[in-house]
Every structure is written in structure tokens, then in C-alpha cells.
A and B are shown apart, each in its own frame.
Chain A
């Protein structure tokens, strides 16, 4: 594969972004991040223009996902709120869908239900149309990631210890567990969870678990990692790593319609990569290190555009860092619009 994406625009954002997704029709990009807002951006093929934000969240807006067919957006926050919106209109909302930090939302391929997971150690399935809770499962550990299988009948979640649990969609029975414990480490009294994303590829034949292989706590030094599991057997078939230990986590991972994987990384402040790699390859065919600390990647439905959110340079520093006017400096996430 030879492919060299070109950045066509950089859009300023005064806030830090942790997740980004395009709507199913590609007209709107939404971002969540270190603020109690979900920001919306109009995409015209050349740039992003801010739209009114969705307000009424608390802490951080943590998770966003679009319905595969309808213009419905599901979003959540770190205080446990789960909401379904259409434009600025709220269709349904649970203020305490989880007790605290709701980490991820997955939408079933048929769009009939959504799954959520959180720090409260629960996985829950909801009716996407009404918001009614359909089922729940007490996982026993902080749950970092959740996804549906491509045919939609199974659900996989990954917990802090690197256990990938396969359940039926109704969460009635844990069918089996895949071992991704390499993504977990106990360092002193810190439990380090390296898992950030779960993604099915090859029509569900392969399950990817992406994040990092933790080496130490406090200031993590670790290498971006993708584990490939043969989903039928649960066997680990391949481990993809790239970069030095300063590169840290794969924070976001998507598959392009042409089959290659797109990932963004963030580690020690200043580090950061956009990686494009074929699933079977050991080395990426494209690496972009011009953006620091990338946290989100949104692929446009046309497959011809995508957005990477990064972090401004010099985002770290001990003590009081002041801006030109003596104000306490904050960080921000530029949005980089690429054309494939």
C-alpha cells in the first residue's frame, strides 16, 4: 500500500479533545474532551466550522458515537450521564447511566442498541431508540473498552486487567475470555491499564485490542501496541508495536474502507504519531510525527478525509507557566484535516 495523506487544514480549538467522530452522513464532526461540553463542527469538505455545542454535561465529556443510519448521536460524561441527541434536541437522557466515569459507547451494527462501560465496573446495554436499559453485567473490574461483533450478536468488553470478555448481546452469559494481560501491569500500588480500543476487522475474524504495553507507573513509558486475536479460537496471532517507549498509547484506532488501519498515539509530551498500517504487516507504511500528542482520529464516511486531534507543543512543565498577558497557560487541541 502506498498512500500519503495530505493535511489540508488546521483548525484551532481552545480546548483539549479526547475523542472525535463524524456523523453517518459526514456533515458534522463532534468532539468530546476535557470539558463538560460536546463540540460540534460543520464539515464542508475543506474545513471545519464551529456549530453550537451540546451543553449540560459534567466533568469531562468522555465518549461519543453516531447511529449507523440515523442522525442520532450518543454521548456520555465522566459523571455517568448518557444522552441521545439529534442536532441540539435531546431524545433521551440518563443522568446516572453509570456511577461516575462512563468510558466508552458502542453502537450495534443494526443500530438497535448501544453498549456502555465504565469505571463503576459495569457493562450495560440500552435500547438505542428509547434509552431503556435492556441488560447489565457486573464485570468486577474497571471496564475500559466495549464493542459489538460485526454481526451484532456478541459483545466484547475489556477490563483494566486486560481480560477481553465475550458475551452474548443480552449480557446473560460470559462465553469466554481472551487474554490481553500483557496490556496490564501493577507497578507499586498503581494498576496500569494499557487497553484503550477494541476493534473487529476482517468481518469479525480478527479482534484487535489497542493501547500500550505498560512498563512503569507514574510517568508511563511504553510502546504503542495492537494485539491481534483470532476471534474464533481466542488465540493471539500477532502483536504490532511501533516506536520507542516514549510514544505511549494508541488512543484511537479505525479501519479504512480499503482495509488498512489508522491509529494515533500520544506519550511523553511532544511525542505523537499518525500510523497507517496494513493489518498483516509488522511495520506501518505511513508515519506522521509532525503532530504532538494525538488523542483522536475521525474517519469521514467518504474515506477520503479524516481528522486527527493533537495537542499544542510545550504542553507540559512544572510550576506556574504564564502566557504573554500573565494568564495561567492552558493547553488546546488543534484539529488537523487530512485528505487521502
Chain B
């Protein structure tokens, strides 16, 4: 018997859904139960493509294996590239999928397809995973913005990440982990004056709402709500309080600092925290590049796992680390590896995933997936399941049109789930 769900199962659930007339998410009981558990997500995005051969799936001493050695991990029989010694000691906390096989090898279309779960074309843009989680699980008890993004460079609100869910569920980006400009109330404005201004704003909002779409109005109001919550918790951006020891443990580089800010966000109760590191597109000088970048990732990500475990947050936080794709086995004339969606790896940890688990395998040379291949749609099924959301029974509501939350012809990776 196939232990996995089939597309047919899903069609039944859709009928059940339509027959019921309401999304299960519309059930206040279920939604509240989800929110009470306050599950969180840390989503680490290595923009470009981390080479699977120089990280999670080394093939030392083979034709395309590159110059590096592999090292043992804390799980017998599982080896990582030597560039990840700290994560190798934490493999027992991780679930690594080595059998990713996705569709797109271009940045322009690939980023969207991966971050939106590459659903079937429904004629509307699908939400990023973070927006989906923000919609389905809400902001949690903290009330803080449910989907934040810590990234190098500029910040701002990215409504487009929410797709058809509406701008309210977009990502709030903190450039370089810093708070939005002018976050705090100006010292010349008293609390009473501020309250009076807000009262006036709300009155004007009602007039504004009368002539506009509900979701646009919601988005407008949510920005003020977010600002209010952030004003009350401006401390979550304050890295000056961080112990020097933590700065050293995470690494005195962008990724280390941003991961520390992410830890503060998770500790404060933010539902979904995305951390981006740019520059993982090593078409040239791939090995020297990975030799300097992967150890920094290893340092920051492993410190985060240690701290989430120590604080108990790893029990309630789903941790995901991925790129747009992997990198080609063959090495080009620029000593680089190009884009490779054919056989690459994703790592997970924390809530809902089976720890110390290796899923799938590639062939001896790393040129193809040898086991059951998984597309990104399967990962969305897996991640939603890990968060306690059944993708076969839960649907998005696109202005009255029910849409599946994950690709309806794909299935979760059961061996990756706890």
C-alpha cells in the first residue's frame, strides 16, 4: 500500500469542501486552536543556489565532486561537505532532503516558482509560503507582524509576496535588520496627541473603506496595526544588547547579525521570519567562493539551531533552509557551477519534521536523483503538514474561489514528517 496520499484523495477533499460550503479555516475553533499553539517558522533563503556538492550532498573524489572532503555528521552514515563542520555536529536535529528535482533553472522565473510553491496556473499569483502561513496561522499571541523578512539592503513592505491573498499578508522587510525609519513617536508629539490623531485617522478610514475593496482597506489598516505593535516592541531590533559572545558565535558578518535579529524576532513571537543571504550564484570561482561563504552560513545557522533548542523554541519552530536551485555537477571554464534544478538539497529542522533524517539520494556522480524525486510543491505540502495544517482539507479563499494551498497533484514527504 502506498503510504502517501494521492491526488484522488485530494479531489475528494475538494468536493467535501465545496459540499460544506466553507473552508475549514473559516472554522473559528480550528483557526484559534492553530493560533494558540503559536507555531513559528524560520525560513533561510540563500539567494541564488547553494551547491549541494559543497554542502549537504558531497560526492568526494568523484568526477564532479570538487576539491573538498566530506566529514562525518552526528548521524552515522550521513556525511556533509567539510565546509560545514558545525552543522555536521547537529545533523541529529536536521532533516535533509537530497532528492529535490524542480522545474526552473532561471532566476527570473525560478525564485517565484520556488517561493510560491509552483502551483498549477490558476490565473492568479500564488502567495509566498510566508504569506500563506501569515494568512492561515495569523500573527500569533504576540500580535507582531506575522511575516517579516530580514535582508541585506533596503527594507519596506512587499505586498506582491501575498499574491491573491491581498496586500495585508505581504512581507515586511527590515533592511539590514534595522527597524523602519521613524518607527518611534516623535518626542514632540504627546501620547494624547497621538491618540487623537489615530482617532481621526480611523474616522477617515471608515469613509475611505466605504468606497473600496475590503482587502485593500484591511491592508491599509494593517499597516497602522503593524506600526503600533512594532513601536511597542522596538527592542527586537536592538542588537546593542546582544552579548559579544553571541556576536562571535553567529559570526561578525551580515548573515550572522541578521540571524541574530531573526532570533530576537522569533523570541518575541513573530510567526514567520525569513532571512535572506545574497550572492549564492557562483558561476565563477565556485570553490573559493563556497570556501568562504559556506563556513559563515555554517556558523550562523548552527548557532541559531543551538539557541532555538536551548530556549525550547525549536519544539514549536519549523526551520527551513533552501535556495532557488542547486548547482551543476559539471564545472565551467570560469571554475564555476551553473544553475541546477535537477538534483539538489533542502534542509529542515524543528517542529513537525523528523530529526536526524536523510530523505532521498542522488546517484554516485550527483547528476540525477536516484530515489523518488520531489518538486517544491511536495515541500509546501510537507511544511504545511509540519505546521499542523492539512493541505488536503485546507484551502485559500480567492474572493470566493477556493484554491488549494499547495500543488494539488503533489504530496507531502511522509518520511520527512515527525
Interface residues, chain A, with chain B CB atoms under 8 Å away: 16, 34-36, 58-60, 62, 78-79, 100-101, 119, 142, 160, 187-193, 217-220, 248-249, 266-270, 272, 292-293, 310-312, 315-321, 328-331
Contact = CB atoms under 8 A, between A and B. Distances in A.
Nearest to A144: B288
B4 to A, nearest CB: 26
Nearest to A34: B331
Contacts of B60: 58-59
A60 B334 contact: no
B328 A318 contact: yes
Interface string B67-106: 1110000000000001000000000000000000000011
6 contacts: A58-B60, A60-B66, A188-B278, A217-B279, A266-B335, A319-B341
Interface residues of B, number: 49
Interface string B48-74: 100000000000110111111100000
A315 B338 CA distance: 10
Interface of B: 48, 60-61, 63-69, 82, 105-106, 152, 253-255, 277-285, 288-289, 291-293, 296-297, 328-336, 338-342, 365, 367
B279 A188 contact: yes
B106 to A, nearest CB: 7
A319 B332 contact: no
A328 B366 CA distance: 11
B330 A119 contact: no
A286 B283 CA distance: 29
Contacts of B64: 330
Contacts of B68: 59, 78, 100-101
Question: Which 10 A-B residue pairings sit nearest by Cβ, starting from the closest?
Answer: A293-B333, A78-B67, A311-B333, A316-B332, A318-B339, A219-B283, A318-B105, A315-B333, A319-B105, A191-B292
A189 B279 CA distance: 8
Contact of A190 (B293, B328, B331, B335): B293
B385 to A, nearest CB: 30
Residue among A62, A218, A319, A330 with max Cβ neighbours from chain B (10 Å): A218
A328 B341 CA distance: 14
Nearest to B300: A189
Given A219-B283, A328-B330, A100 B69 contact: yes
A163 to B, nearest CB: 16
A219 B61 CA distance: 25
| Most chain B C-beta atoms within 10 Å of own C-beta, residue among A189, A269, A321 | A189
Contacts of B63: 35, 330
A330 B329 CA distance: 9
Given A189-B296, A319-B339, A320-B342, A218 B333 contact: no
A268 B334 contact: yes
B210 to A, nearest CB: 47
A188 B65 CA distance: 26
Contacts of A62: 67
A331 B330 contact: yes
A192 B288 CA distance: 8
A272 B68 CA distance: 26
B336 A316 contact: yes
A311 B333 CA distance: 6
A249 B336 CA distance: 13
A218 B282 contact: yes
